[in-house]
Structure 1
Amino acid sequence: MGEILFLAHRIPFPPDRGDKIRSHHVLRALAALAPVHLGCFADDEADHACEGELAALTQSHLLLPRGKSLAVAGLEALIGGDPLSLAAFRDRRMGAWVERILANRPIETIFVFSGQMAQYVPKTYRGRLIVDLVDVDSAKFEAYGAKGRGFRGWMERREGRLLRGEEARIARRADRTLLVSKAEAALFAARLGEPENRIEAMGNGIDSALFDPARVVPEPRMLAVEGPRLVFTGQMDYAPNIEAVERAMDRILPLVRARLPQASLHVVGRNPPSSLLARHGREGVHVWGRVADIRPWLAAADLALVPLEIARGVQNKVLEAMAMALPSVLSTGAATGIDAVAGRDFAIAESDEALAEKVLALSCDRDRARNMGQAARAWILANASWEAALADLPNMLAFSQESLNDAA
């Protein structure tokens, strides 16, 4: 049985943000099939603290600190005519390590997680190549650029254009290109004109036993705030999340508080910018920052509010809220790729006024809110396990049943 080289732009530990949750489960599934060699980057010391877990799961690994500043990466990108996303993750040490692994190990498959890492696949490599792009990043930057102004808007439009070319190169080279939903896969195929039989959806899952409200004690600090308590979770240095929270603070929450003055919005997630931290404790807004475990905060909330204006793929924050039986009010983008039933499993609206009305309706009808939360969890149990999401991986890697039995 051949071995697998897995390349990820972030260490798949700890699984505490959307991309790392997905790469974590993919890595575990691959390691159950064959020996895996993992090359990845660390963002901070918390990532480096997980290196022991990484070593226990892989045959060998390289974990490099990603210390290149945005300014340096931007300059390299402008000089080289490359997307900033690629320049930010370009490191000669990673390239040299990949070459050594390919020269000394029987690598049958390279599995690339996120398009930034495809640059490390040598042109001479002739084995199987699977690339999990997750989302159509070029479309995301095009959306940023359409709204942006000045130099930043120009850079975002440039990034969208160059990434579109890089995505086309990746798709032509890969045996399989994976996206997180059928909608995202169809968008990718249509934009690039690539054969759809080589572009597939591989959805996200959720550990419903871990995200079980019956097993979680609600966070006391959040419970101490009068309700109804609305929650938004996510990586808070990510532009679409910042934009969604600002929308909730400035445009939706005031409409809710006009009729329910005690309503509060709780923002939970790492690295909130100073502009959000400055709002903590004012006009019903609470910004909690990084927490050790997101589940108690979800358990203490009355509903999830996710008014994303720019959203790609499947939102893990929505799956987690649903698994915790939390009624959720979503923008259309936030609900994309989740084939649950609107009105039963979650509520969808688009305008600020319509989102506020959905929040008010659920906040004022506890039975309706409880029924929606229970329906959401039932949908997760039936449709969104990681086992189901990754069930086709052995076929993608062309492992026979005999080799699977040997691996077991």
Structure 2
Amino acid sequence: MNDLVQIRKSGAPRRILIISPTPTHPTTAGNRVRILALVKALISLGHEVHLAFLRTASGDEEAMRTLLGGRFYPLSYTLPKRSRSLRERIEDAWFGFRDPTYRHTLRIDDWFNPWALSRISDLHTQHHFDAVMVEYVFFSRALECFGPDVLKIVDTHDVFTDRHQLFLREGRQPEWFSTTRREEARGLRRADVVVAIQDMERAFFSEISGRKTVTVGHLVPLRPSHRGRSPGSCMLFVASLNPVNNDALDFLLAEILPLVRARLPEARLLLAGRICEVVADQPGVVKLGVLPDLALAYAQADVVVVPMRFGTGLNIKSIEALAHGMPLVATSNGSKGIEATPPIFLTGDTPEAFADAVVRICNDAELAARLSHDASVFAESWNARHVAALDAIIRGTE
């Protein structure tokens, strides 16, 4: 592999179909980055990768076609109208009576349009896939197109059981997809193998589904970007536009940045990604916008900050920062799923602790250099472990 890690190839290569409602390009959000990394990793391991893109969001289809050539299949897609049988309507009424927040949940197939089944079946008839990987459990119905001779995989990305509760606890309106434990289990059981993004989620998925569950963390290109010179005071926050990131930005701007600038008046906060769209011009904040290559942002920074206050799943921002060899300060929520001994980054859950960690790195070039080195070493080991796990799933050698 060119930009991940070389590992020994074993067993026969497989013909794999990845079914995704999310485009791989442009890489403006963490889920897109993950799917693209999986595609590249599988290709580099010698597998024949095909991608069926269900157009639930706009993407750079020319870039996807350049990557995959004739193995890229964009499929028109519309979200279906929600329908319920009489039994389901009665169940919904009962569950809603017992728990008023139940109204924020969806059934596992509410976003899957059965129209796509015939198109996916046609692709299988033409190409006879050895394995199929569906991105997100709420598109798992696509696995019904494949018989027992095909290895069926769900790449989960996140836990969706009661996800709405995370938002409600923070006083925010739930967004995107949330379901019940029973419904998520139903989707997962359609797979032979469930892929989790971190070990804590692996244990949960294994418990509710009874399926073989394997952790494949976020795969990251190793691109050391730390400036490694005299102490500096440029913080960087990379984020797309969603409620979890917006909350982190509020925390950063209102409570952390003022403490940092009180001790380092020259400190600047660099913002990269669509998060810039919701930030007014203000002193000490530089909006870089959406960049064609995030290395351009990392190269300007002295420390990366990930001040997430809630959310589930592995925080892709943190592992990407480590892969760029960047000193990192994160909250406990911002560093979930990344465990290392001794610690390879600094943490802080209160504004004071977070700001103190940032100031320590900015004032201590030796500490920054050590964190940068340890980050790169960790990211290389991380990639090797998770690429090997991915290859073992596909080749059936796990």
Q: CA deviation at 1:172?
A: 2.0
Partner SS state of residue 263, structure 2: coil
1:347 aligns with 2:346: yes
Structure 2 equivalent of residue 292 of structure 1 = 292
Structure 2 equivalent of residue 305 of structure 1 = 305
Structure 2 equivalent of residue 241 of structure 1 = 245
Number of aligned residue pairs: 364
Partner SS state of residue 391, structure 1: helix
Structure 2 CA distance for aligned equivalents of residues 373 and 398 of structure 1: 35
Partner SS state of residue 134, structure 1: coil
Q: Is the 8 A contact 1:270 1:291 kept in 2?
A: no
Say which is worse superposed, 321-330 or 41-50, in terms of deviation: 41-50
| Pairing partner for 1:113 from 135, 141, 144 | 135
| Pairing partner for 2:54 from 29, 36, 41 | 41
Q: Is the 8 A contact 1:272 1:289 kept in 2?
A: yes
One-letter amino acid matched to 1:62: Y
One-letter amino acid matched to 1:335: S
Identity of aligned residues (%): 23
Structure 1 CA distance for aligned equivalents of residues 42 and 369 of structure 2: 38
1:264 aligns with 2:268: yes
Say which is worse superposed, 323-332 or 16-25, in terms of deviation: 16-25
TM-aligned CA distance change 1:369 to 1:85, over 3 Å: farther
Structure 1 CA distance for aligned equivalents of residues 394 and 67 of structure 2: 22
Per-residue CA deviations over 1:315-338 (Å, capped at 9, x if unaligned) read 232122223332111101111111
Structure 1 equivalent of residue 32 of structure 2 = 20
Q: CA deviation at 1:84?
A: 8.2
Partner SS state of residue 310, structure 1: coil
Partner SS state of residue 258, structure 1: helix
Q: Is the 8 A contact 2:166 2:311 kept in 1?
A: no
TM-aligned CA distance change 1:109 to 1:271, over 3 Å: same
Partner SS state of residue 293, structure 1: coil
Q: CA deviation at 1:198?
A: 1.1
Q: CA deviation at 1:49?
A: 2.6
Say which is worse superposed, 5-14 or 28-37, in terms of deviation: 28-37
Q: CA deviation at 1:242?
A: 1.2
Structure 1 equivalent of residue 98 of structure 2 = none
Structure 1 equivalent of residue 154 of structure 2 = 131
Q: Is the 8 A contact 1:227 1:262 kept in 2?
A: no
TM-aligned CA distance change 1:242 to 1:166, over 3 Å: same
Structure 1 CA distance for aligned equivalents of residues 64 and 114 of structure 2: 21
Q: CA deviation at 1:364?
A: 2.3
Q: Is the 8 A contact 2:140 2:188 kept in 1?
A: no
One-letter amino acid matched to 1:314: L
Structure 1 CA distance for aligned equivalents of residues 123 and 372 of structure 2: 48
Say which is worse superposed, 98-107 or 242-251, in terms of deviation: 98-107
TM-aligned CA distance change 1:84 to 1:123, over 3 Å: same
| Pairing partner for 1:228 from 223, 226, 233 | 233
Structure 2 equivalent of residue 367 of structure 1 = 366
Q: Is the 8 A contact 1:108 1:128 kept in 2?
A: yes
1:63 aligns with 2:65: no
Structure 2 CA distance for aligned equivalents of residues 170 and 372 of structure 1: 41
Per-residue CA deviations over 1:179-212 (Å, capped at 9, x if unaligned) read 011122123345x2x43x612211222221xx12
Q: CA deviation at 1:43?
A: 6.5
Structure 2 CA distance for aligned equivalents of residues 28 and 123 of structure 1: 25
Structure 1 equivalent of residue 255 of structure 2 = 251
Structure 2 CA distance for aligned equivalents of residues 114 and 92 of structure 1: 16
Structure 2 CA distance for aligned equivalents of residues 67 and 284 of structure 1: 43
Structure 1 CA distance for aligned equivalents of residues 129 and 325 of structure 2: 43
Q: CA deviation at 1:243?
A: 0.9
1:328-339 paired onto structure 2 within 5 Å: 328-339=328-339
Structure 1 CA distance for aligned equivalents of residues 298 and 220 of structure 2: 15
Partner SS state of residue 102, structure 1: helix
Partner SS state of residue 199, structure 1: strand
Structure 2 equivalent of residue 384 of structure 1 = 382
TM-score by structure 1 length?
Answer: 0.78
- Structure (1/2) with the larger helix percentage: 1
Structure 1 CA distance for aligned equivalents of residues 170 and 108 of structure 2: 19
Q: CA deviation at 1:297?
A: 1.1
Partner SS state of residue 236, structure 2: strand
One-letter amino acid matched to 1:379: F
TM-aligned CA distance change 1:373 to 1:7, over 3 Å: same
CA RMSD of aligned residues (A): 3.2
One-letter amino acid matched to 1:177: V
Structure 2 CA distance for aligned equivalents of residues 374 and 165 of structure 1: 44
Task: Specify every segment of 5 or more residues in structure 2 that has no aligned partner in the other structure, as ranges.
Answer: 1-11, 89-104
| Pairing partner for 1:97 from 93, 103, 119 | 119
Structure 2 CA distance for aligned equivalents of residues 360 and 104 of structure 1: 58
Per-residue CA deviations over 1:260-291 (Å, capped at 9, x if unaligned) read 22222111113644xx232x2x1322232211
1:207 aligns with 2:221: yes
Q: CA deviation at 1:134?
A: 2.2
Q: Is the 8 A contact 1:217 1:296 kept in 2?
A: no
One-letter amino acid matched to 2:324: M
1:138-157 paired onto structure 2 within 5 Å: 138-148=161-171, 152-153=173-174
Structure 1 CA distance for aligned equivalents of residues 203 and 213 of structure 2: 8
1:306-325 paired onto structure 2 within 5 Å: 306-325=306-325
Partner SS state of residue 353, structure 2: helix
Structure 2 equivalent of residue 406 of structure 1 = none
TM-aligned CA distance change 1:397 to 1:359, over 3 Å: closer
Structure 2 CA distance for aligned equivalents of residues 319 and 34 of structure 1: 25
Structure 1 CA distance for aligned equivalents of residues 319 and 33 of structure 2: 12
One-letter amino acid matched to 2:292: A
Per-residue CA deviations over 1:221-259 (Å, capped at 9, x if unaligned) read xxxxx9511110121x12211111111001111111222
Structure 2 CA distance for aligned equivalents of residues 51 and 379 of structure 1: 30
Structure 2 CA distance for aligned equivalents of residues 256 and 85 of structure 1: 44
Structure 2 equivalent of residue 404 of structure 1 = none
Q: Is the 8 A contact 1:62 1:97 kept in 2?
A: no
